[in-house]
Chain A
Amino acid sequence: MKSSVITFPGSNCDRDMDVALKKFGFQNKMVWHNDIDLPKSDLVVLPGGFSYGDYLRCGSMASKSKIMKSVINFANSGGMVMGICNGFQILVETGMLPGVLLRNKYLEFICKNVFVKIKNKQNIFFKNIDNEILELHIAHNEGNFFCTNDQLKEINDNEQIAINYCNENGKIEDQFNPNGSIENIAGILNKKKNVLGMMPHPERMIDKYLSGEDGSLFFNNLINNIK
């Protein structure tokens, strides 16, 4: 299975993602934002970081970079695209996913482990995964998912919510919402369910001695789903 990770100026989780993808069997290529063509890929990943120093709005400059035209075409023709953290912000700025990511409600940069509950398993990213709840890491200043009421209705009607913030027992409540996101949304899918954006970093949870292994569950499942 082939994957591509796009590096923007200011990306800083691109190499972690490369390590994670390779660990679980992907043949991964790093792609520079100024390139025009994507290598042949089964999965394209927009990694976390601070592309263009988060100037203007997080992800806004990166969403206009040269490679993004190919990424958009790739997604429009059914290709799988995953944006983590800053990658999620880039995806909403392109319009590939609905909504926006605002500054965290309490104006703090949040860096901690959280629990998320998988809401939708009817998609290639999460189908067949045994767990209902994953412990993953978040590190962001702008992760407060917001959208209009019309968009929220559409997101719910089309079952586009992928994961919600919860506690270790899977309870989705305000007190377990780290950043103020509407309905505790931590990740969403597009209508066709081939594009996923999420704030948590699965690539940071792939080593039992350093972190946890819930990211391993995610990547293992992902490559089996794509095979």
Chain B
Amino acid sequence: MKISVIITLKKDVLDPQGKVIQQTLNGMGFDHINEVRQGKYFEIDTKETDYKEAKNQVEEMCKKLLANLVIENYKIIDTQ
């Protein structure tokens, strides 16, 4: 079973990389952008077959390693 996770920076945390990407996009002519925030995407292929259990495990992974909850939020977005 594959589970995907998106990690994003919390709203109040400065994202200098997102800002530079936004400035570059502006320079390329994409000038209607309010803000760009950069995040991370993970695809986890697990041997677990029970959906609920797999999701719980991925949630634990997010809390313990994948995200730093001081600055980041995680979202488990889909399973296949």
Closest to B10 in A: A148
Q: Are B70 and A99 in contact (CB under 8 A)?
A: yes
CB within 8 Å of A: which of B32-56? none
A74 sits at the interface (CB 8 A): no
Cα of A88 to Cα of B13 in the assembled complex, Å: 20
Cα of A148 to Cα of B72 in the assembled complex, Å: 12
Given A56-B65, A56-B66, A64-B65: A103 and B71 within 8 A (CB)? no
Q: Are B70 and A106 in contact (CB under 8 A)?
A: no
Residues in A whose Cβ lies below 8 Å from that of B70: 99-100, 146-148, 151
A40 sits at the interface (CB 8 A): no
Closest to A103 in B: B16
Q: Are B14 and A102 in contact (CB under 8 A)?
A: yes
Cα of A144 to Cα of B20 in the assembled complex, Å: 17
Cα of A100 to Cα of B70 in the assembled complex, Å: 7
| A-B contacts at CB below 8 angstroms, number | 33
Residues in B whose Cβ lies below 8 Å from that of A146: 13-14, 70-71
Candidate in B16, B17, B66 with the most chain A CB atoms within 10 angstroms:
B16
A interface footprint on B51-79 (CB within 8 Å = 1, 0 otherwise): 00000000000001110101100000000
Interface size (B, Cβ < 8 Å)? Answer: 11
Q: How large is the interface on A (under 10, 10 to 19, 20 to 34, 35 or more residues)?
A: 10 to 19
Q: Are B17 and A103 in contact (CB under 8 A)?
A: yes
Cα of A49 to Cα of B2 in the assembled complex, Å: 34
B interface footprint on A121-148 (CB within 8 Å = 1, 0 otherwise): 0000000000000000000000010111
Given A107-B20, A146-B71: A102 and B66 within 8 A (CB)? no
Q: Are B14 and A93 in contact (CB under 8 A)?
A: no
A29 sits at the interface (CB 8 A): no
Q: Are B13 and A102 in contact (CB under 8 A)?
A: yes
Residues in A whose Cβ lies below 8 Å from that of B17: 103, 107
Closest to B42 in A: A56
Question: Measuring CB to CB, which residues of chain B are less than 8 angstroms from any residue of chain A?
Answer: 13-14, 16-17, 20, 64-66, 68, 70-71
Question: Measuring CB to CB, which residues of chain A are less than 8 angstroms from any residue of chain B?
Answer: 56-57, 60, 64, 93, 99-100, 102-107, 144, 146-148, 151, 180
- Besides A56-B66, A148-B70, A180-B14, 10 new A-B residue pairs in contact (Cβ under 8 A), listed by A number: A57-B68, A60-B68, A64-B65, A99-B70, A100-B71, A103-B16, A103-B17, A104-B16, A147-B70, A151-B70
> Closest 5 A-B residue pairs measured CB to CB?
A100-B70, A107-B16, A100-B71, A100-B68, A57-B68
